[in-house]
Each structure stands twice: as C-alpha cells, then as structure tokens.
Amino acid sequence: MDWDARNYDRLSDPHVRWGAAVLERLDLAGDETVLDAGCGTGRVTEQLLSRLPRGSVVALDASPAMLGEARARFSRLPGGERVSFVEADLLELTPEYLEGRGRLDAVFSTATFHWVADHERLFANLRSVLRDGGQFVAQCGGEGNIAGVLAAVKRLGAERAGTWLYAPAWETAKRLERAGFGEVRCWCHPDPVSFPDRGALADFLQTVCLREHLGTLEPPERRRFAQRVAEEMPEPVIDYVRLNIVARAI
C-alpha cells in the first residue's frame, strides 16, 4: 500500500524537527550536489535546499505518491528547479540512476533507512554514488524504536506486519565500515513524540507507524485497528528512538 502522502505532509512535524537537527551535521559550502535518500513529500528536502543556494538536490524516493507531493512542492518554490527527482528503490540504486550528475558530494537521509531491511546493501549502494571524501549524514529509527507501539499491537493479539529494521548503533557502524566509510560515528537517542489526544495519535499511527500493517487489513478495519492500538497505549506518546549516522566515504 503506497503512502497517504497528503496526510503524511500534514502530520510530519516530528520528522521536520528531526530533519532540522540532522541537517546541522552536514558541512556545506552551498554549492554541493546532495542526495536526499527517501525524500518523502520534501518538507525536509526544502530545508536542505535552503542550505544549497548555488548547489542542487537529488530527491529520491520509491513512492510515486510521495514524489508527486514533492514535485508539486518544488514546482511552487523559488529555486525549486535546483531539485531533480528520482523514483527508485534504494536497494536497487547504482550510479547509473544519477546519470549526468556525477558522483555526489553528500548523502543525506532522515526517517527512511529503518524501512529498508538490508542495510549492508543499502550502505554499499549509497557509497557507490558518493565521491571519495563525500559526507554521509543520516538518521532513522534505531534499536528499541517504537517498542510501546509494537507491544500494544501484540496485546491486541497481532504482530505488526511489514518490513523494518531498527538496528543498533554498534552494528550500523560495522556495516558502514564494511561498505567503505570512515570517520564513522553512530549513536542512538530516545526522542519521544507526544500527541494532544488519542485521536491525533491514531491519525499518526494510521499514516506512519502502522501503514504497512493496515495494508494487510480490509479498508473498513484499518481506522478501527489504529484506534484500538492508540487506546491500548498507556499514554498518547510514541517512544521513538533515533539512530544517528555521520560518516565519510573513503
């Protein structure tokens, strides 16, 4: 089931806040070419573009719905012509996808890698599109991420369906080194997100955390299941844990 990109755009304030903090870790002169790997609707990409007044962004995502929203956003935005779009699965990414753009100066990514189960291949693919010395700055869900949501789903007698990997920092660091990165720093930090009430929590769960699971249910069941999970949680708070990555292509 594809993303509900309209609702994601409306509900992704936590992602925009995380993105702003991660973006500060990119060391940019302003004229680089940077890949946003898993750009979604482009709210964080827009912040990245503002750091590149003479540079450009390659906005990549596998979701046609997300890319549609992102294209619409940048068609309205001054400087939006400095963003180009690639519809691709990160697990299939090769330098050929970026034909004509050369090797990139940096790879940036937020809230995406945990949706990709094979991090060995993911990091090798991202290394292949980076120039030597290029920066790799990213954040995604890490070990222990949203354990409270998964526990609530279990208490309702289900296992959350879908593909995800909430990797530990130490294992991620080893994978990055094996993929050709140096100066590797990886760490996890808790970053809980509070919602005003259980209705708002259910909206968010439906659009983000339970999206793949709900795709396995009949349409009339989907909202009801998200609401039951929201009611089952001790409070309207999602216990996010973020895995941070800073590295350099060697």
Ligand X SMILES: C[S@@+](CC[C@H](N)C(=O)[O-])C[C@H]1O[C@@H](n2cnc3c(N)ncnc32)[C@H](O)[C@@H]1O
Residues that bind ligand X (CB under 6 A): 3, 12, 15, 19, 38-40, 43-44, 61-63, 66, 89-91, 110-112, 115-116
Residue 57 or 176: which CB sits closer to ligand X?
Answer: 57
Residue 111 or 153: which CB sits closer to ligand X?
Answer: 111
> Measured at CB, which residue is nearest to ligand X?
40
Structure tokens at 37: 């790997």
With H, G, I as helix, E, B as strand and everything else as coil, classify residue 63: coil
Residue 165 or 173: which CB sits closer to ligand X?
Answer: 165
What type of residue is 133?
G
- CB 155 to ligand X: min, Å: 25
- CB 211 to ligand X: min, Å: 9
Say which residues have a Cβ less than 8 Å from residue 15's Cβ, sequence separation at least 6: 40, 43, 44, 110, 111
- CB 226 to ligand X: min, Å: 16
- CB 206 to ligand X: min, Å: 14
Structure tokens at 89: 């699965």
What type of residue is 189?
H
Residue 113 or 181: which CB sits closer to ligand X?
Answer: 113
Residue 8 or 181: which CB sits closer to ligand X?
Answer: 8
Segments of the chain assigned E as strands: 33-37, 56-61, 83-87, 104-110, 130-141, 181-190, 193-194, 237-238, 241-249
CA 136 to chain centre: 14
- CB 171 to ligand X: min, Å: 19
